[in-house]
Chains A and B, each alone.
Chain A
Amino acid sequence: MMAMDQTLGILFQFYQSLLVVLLAPLLTGWVSQCRAWLQNRTGPGLLQPYRTLRKLFHKDAVIAHNASPLFRITPYILFGCMWLAAAIIPIIAVDLPFSPAADVIALVGVFALARVFIALAAMDIGTAFGALGARREMLVSFLAEPALLMVLFTASLISQSTQLPRIVEALAHHQFVLYPSLAFAALAFVIVLLAENARIPVDNPGTHLELTMIHEAMILEYSARHLALIEWASSLKLFAYISLGIALFFPHGIAEVGAMVGNWGGALPLAITALLAKLVMAGAGLALLETLLAKMRIFRAPEFLGTAFLLAVLGLLIHFLLGA
């Protein structure tokens, strides 16, 4: 039985990682397609991110004369970090063999590691835009990261664990009980998701307007396969964040390996269908938010994220007050 669980777990880990890496650009494509529809445009189609990746991988890489090895290795580190993040979040199944290696605090650490490397790489060439982007990215994240940590803490306190599988189990089994602390946490999480994935109103993924860009300013000097990996990593990050949101706030339907032994013909298709439905909804919701909101001035962003931080701390306080 144990051995069966183990093999099944490893199998799930493998399939989930593969699925996430392959599906991530599709989600990005879906969000921009929804945005196009909401803005009365035809849109490039769902598969556009794949075409972009294919085009970029075929090109010759051009890097600046004074690029250091740090600059060349960063896209790979970024991709590795985001893959790891996607591997520890329960997306289709709960009991992933890899998840004990990193809990929610380590998950925040993975995102931080990737962020520090991309910021350093942005400063490597020594252009005005690179450093500007790095500075702004660190500015946005120094409030977004603690806010995310506080959101995760609220969930950990409810479930008495910092392990994501345990959190998901605990939250999924308390069906239809509304935690007031989680409501605050959810609001904060949405703000963090927008900020960390370079979305409107903090950043605009479609812009190359010099004075407003953050994420794009950092990766200006990248081309070809390096750029492709960074774009792919960004898609993975969006996918990871949205799945994290699903795991925390709408965990119902994520399969448990233990419950699936002997019945995994039934549980797995259900889990995948539920996941796809949630992702479609979340992507459309993200596009709607982005269409309704306007890009902020850069110094309004800290206030916006400060709100997220306060909301998350408030959620945590409410948990301590009400015990729920």
Chain B
Amino acid sequence: MEAIGILPLDVVCGVILLWLALGLLGLVLRRTPHLVTGIIFPLGALVALALAGTGLWALGETPGVAVLPLGLPDLPLHLRLDPLAAFFLILLGGASFGVSLFSAGYFRAMAGNTLGLLCLEYHLFLASMALVLLADDAYMFMVAWETMALSSYFLVTTEHHVPDIRKAGYLYLLVAHVGAIAILLSFGVMQGGHGIGAYTFAALREAHLPVFWSSVAFLLALFGFGAKAGLLPLHVWLPEAHPAAPSPVSALMSGIMLKTAIYGILRVTFDLLGAQQWWWGVLALALGLMTAIFGVMFAAVQGDMKRLLAYSSIENIGLLLVGIGLAIIFHVYSKDALAALSLTATLYHSLNHAFFKSLLFIGTGSILHATGERNMGRMGGLIHHMPWAAALMLVGVLSIAGLPPFNGFVSEWLLLQAFLLSPGLPNSYINMLIPVAAAVIALAAALAAYVMVKFYGIIFLGQPREKALEHAHDAGIWERIGLGWLALGCVVLGLAPVFVIQRLDLVTQMLVGQGLGNAAGGWLFLTPVDTERASYSPVFFLLAVLGVMLMTALTVHRFYHGRLRRGPAWDCGFPAQTARMQDTAEGFGQPIRRIFEPFFKIESELPSAFDTHPRYYGRSEDRFWFALYLPIKSITEKLSSWAALLQHGRIHLYLSYTFATLVVLLIFV
């Protein structure tokens, strides 16, 4: 490849152009929808795979740089492909490969015109995410960032004829733009008045701001990227936008787009600002912990499957931010080996989350197609009608619950190891904070298992709660391939952490100047520090459990018998068992609602014991909405109504305003 002069950056630019071309082609071919779903989406998936491969290739290369002759006069667009960008490109390509294949099946029933537009927006969205990762100046970054926000806004509002979906889209757009303004201001602060043209990241790196201004830049960036990632208290758009969007779009947004915000935080904090203050880390850690606990608690009480997953995304973003916070703290105290460990955990978890959350979101798409329902209270027993979707989603559920030997466990393990290695920091306050933080992480992880048992159990297991579920059909062939790819990713990332971590070392080398190395453990054992300290071998783990299972099954059948009869359920001899006696989604979450009652705003209506037609009703609302957003909204409305006093619609009044302003200005000047 070197000989013929092709660099990874060229391939990535080619991929972006191909995506744009495919999107336009989809719009042109809108009269023949089967071509769009049957050819354009699978081609887009292949392009994504090529992108992932290029990212893998670029990880080990020296960063490629390019200046595009586009953009404003004197402000050309700069691109750069360094290991950090390459890693996130792998994430983008790897996860979107599965999602695009799934989309090929999922959108088959969509009307031509909508499909053509959707195809364009979908590929534009993918291309803009790749551009966000490649951008090497603030201008290019903001253009790509806004393209990403707008294209995803249009994707969210695909079904714009539904008022609720328009409302959700508006909320998303609003939060995205408030965040974008903060990011823009952050770049402005970082640039520090060095003249026009100094907005390239290379110039920002050299800016060497005073502590105050770099802290301001960090806080603005945390706010701006936090709004995109769903950090507390800017999370409100996630549980609204994810259920509104078509499932593959939710998968892309939750699995990949949230990671671009994580990328942004890493880029600004470590690359541009160089992580200078310990309290930045403490702030990120504290916010991350609150976000994680909040997200998982709310996920436990949801009845809508996509809202549940959206809250679970909030939890995972919290965990990622905890990792970043730890890395900042370690880096500031020059414990770079530990910073590398926390960063590895963070990056690994980003990759894992991209795979399992995309898997679960597209899985909900299959369920939505099969049943027409998003409410888990109307599902049940789908494992019998949708065995493929059920089996593949089980992998996702076990992964996200952080169970060995799947991928979620690996990143959780790495993060906990980072916590365990923390003693010895010179700051005693941080030393006190860290055990409490580790406890909160453990609590969030255990609650995540609760949430996932609820999610899987209510949807797939038990008896069908509605008659219509008898006709539910399994995922189609494209859908199965998409689900299968992402499930395979979860398994491989779970079983081969050593290989992944060797690649991740290149990224941590770049950010904190040190890699983890895994020399002691060989390819079988994951040993972040040394073999005496900690090790984990998922392959051995899996083989042992499978071996014992197999041996037990054979022994039992050999020495006794394998006789089996089917009968009615026993249920303590209770004869009149109906599907309505099973736990509902609300019922399963009830203990959590009761234990964490102060955190929820609960409205409920319970029937009396003698009611002949009992109706019950319960909602657990987000207190942030009422305590923070509604006051802001009413203040904004009040301010606007005052401003409206000036507005009468008569020209001569406006002219007199202009005249008055001029007079005032003349007096001052």
Hey, which bits of chain A sit against chain B, CB under 8 A? Answer: 57-58, 60-68, 70, 73, 76-77, 79-81, 83-84, 87, 98, 100-103, 105-106, 109-110, 112-113, 115-116, 119-120, 123-132, 134-136, 138-139, 141-143, 145-146, 149-150, 153, 156-157, 160-163, 166, 208, 210, 220-221, 223, 225, 229, 299, 302, 309, 312-313, 316-317, 319-321
Contacts and interface: CB of A to CB of B under 8 A. Distances in A.
B564 A131 contact: no
Nearest to A223: B570
Interface of B: 380-381, 383-384, 394, 398, 401-404, 409, 412-413, 416-417, 419-420, 423, 431-432, 434-436, 438-439, 442-443, 445-447, 449-450, 452-454, 456-458, 461-463, 525, 531-537, 540-541, 544-549, 552-553, 556, 559-561, 563-572, 574, 577, 579, 581-583, 587-588, 590-592, 594-595
Of listed B402, B423, B565, B571, residue having the most chain A CB within 10 A: B571
A126 B380 contact: yes
A146 B439 contact: yes
Contacts of B570: 64, 127, 220-221, 223
Given A62-B564, A163-B535, 15 more contacts: A63-B565, A68-B461, A77-B549, A102-B404, A102-B540, A110-B404, A112-B401, A112-B403, A127-B574, A129-B572, A145-B442, A146-B439, A153-B419, A162-B533, A309-B439
A116 B572 contact: no
Contact of A162 (B417, B439, B581, B590): B417
Of listed A145, A221, A223, A299, residue having the most chain B CB within 10 A: A145
Contacts of B439: 146, 150, 309, 312-313, 316
A147 to B, nearest CB: 8
Contact of A106 (B381, B398, B442, B536): B536
A208 B404 CA distance: 32
Contacts of A63: 564-567
B535 A84 contact: no
Nearest to A166: B532
Contact of A65 (B436, B456, B568): B568
Contact of A131 (B432, B450, B540, B588): B588
A81 B461 contact: no
Given A84-B545, A120-B461, A220-B571, A102 B443 contact: no
A321 B432 CA distance: 8
A274 to B, nearest CB: 25
11 contacts: A57-B560, A65-B567, A101-B535, A112-B403, A125-B569, A129-B571, A129-B572, A146-B439, A157-B420, A162-B420, A208-B572
Contacts of A321: 432
A232 to B, nearest CB: 9
Contacts of B450: 138-139, 141-142
B563 A60 contact: yes
A113 B462 CA distance: 20
A170 B362 CA distance: 48
A131 B583 contact: yes
A145 B439 CA distance: 10
A57 B567 CA distance: 19
B349 to A, nearest CB: 15
A168 to B, nearest CB: 13
Given A65-B566, A120-B456, A101 B534 contact: no
Given A116-B453, A125-B569, A126-B380, A229 B556 contact: yes
A106 B403 CA distance: 9
A126 B568 contact: no
Contact of A163 (B412, B458, B533): B533
Of listed A65, A98, A128, A166, residue having the most chain B CB within 10 A: A128
A302 B597 CA distance: 13
Contact of B560 (A58, A100, A101): A58
A163 B532 contact: yes
B384 A120 contact: no
B435 A313 contact: yes
B556 to A, nearest CB: 5
B567 A220 contact: no
B446 A103 contact: no
Please report whether the interface of chain B is mostly helix, strand, loop or mixed according to DSSP: helix
B463 A103 contact: no
Nearest to A132: B583
Nearest to B453: A119
Nearest to A83: B548
Contacts of B577: 127-128
A157 to B, nearest CB: 7
B15 to A, nearest CB: 38
Contacts of A312: 439
A138 B525 contact: no
Contact of B541 (A61, A84, A119): A84
A106 B546 contact: no
Given A84-B545, A103-B536, A126-B582, A138 B449 contact: yes
B404 to A, nearest CB: 4
Contacts of A101: 525, 535-537, 540-541, 544
A128 B584 CA distance: 10
B545 A81 contact: yes
A100 B417 CA distance: 15
B545 to A, nearest CB: 4
A68 B384 contact: yes
A57 to B, nearest CB: 5
A304 B402 CA distance: 25
Contacts of B565: 60-63
B352 to A, nearest CB: 15
A149 B409 CA distance: 14
A302 B595 contact: yes
Contacts of B582: 123, 126-128, 131
A35 to B, nearest CB: 24
A131 B462 contact: yes
| Closest 10 pairs between A and B when the two form their complex, measured CB to CB | A126-B462, A126-B463, A146-B442, A131-B583, A101-B540, A123-B457, A64-B569, A80-B548, A109-B404, A127-B571
A73 B567 CA distance: 18
A129 B435 CA distance: 38
Of listed B434, B445, B462, B531, residue having the most chain A CB within 10 A: B462
B409 A109 contact: yes
A29 to B, nearest CB: 21
A105 B579 CA distance: 38
Nearest to A101: B540
Contact of A126 (B381, B442, B533): B381
A14 B457 CA distance: 37
A216 to B, nearest CB: 10
Nearest to B534: A162
B344 to A, nearest CB: 16
A143 B401 CA distance: 15
B462 A125 contact: yes
A60 B394 CA distance: 29
A80 B546 contact: yes
Nearest to B571: A127
A84 B381 contact: no
B355 to A, nearest CB: 19
Of listed A84, A130, A131, A319, residue having the most chain B CB within 10 A: A131
B543 to A, nearest CB: 9
Given A83-B548, A225-B556, A149 B413 contact: no
Contacts of A157: 420, 423
B446 A123 contact: no
B432 to A, nearest CB: 6
A98 B545 CA distance: 12
A114 to B, nearest CB: 10
Contacts of B423: 157, 320
B563 A119 contact: no
Nearest to B567: A62
A105 B404 CA distance: 10
A102 B410 CA distance: 12
Contacts of B532: 161, 163, 166
Given A143-B446, A302-B595, A128 B534 contact: no
B417 A146 contact: no
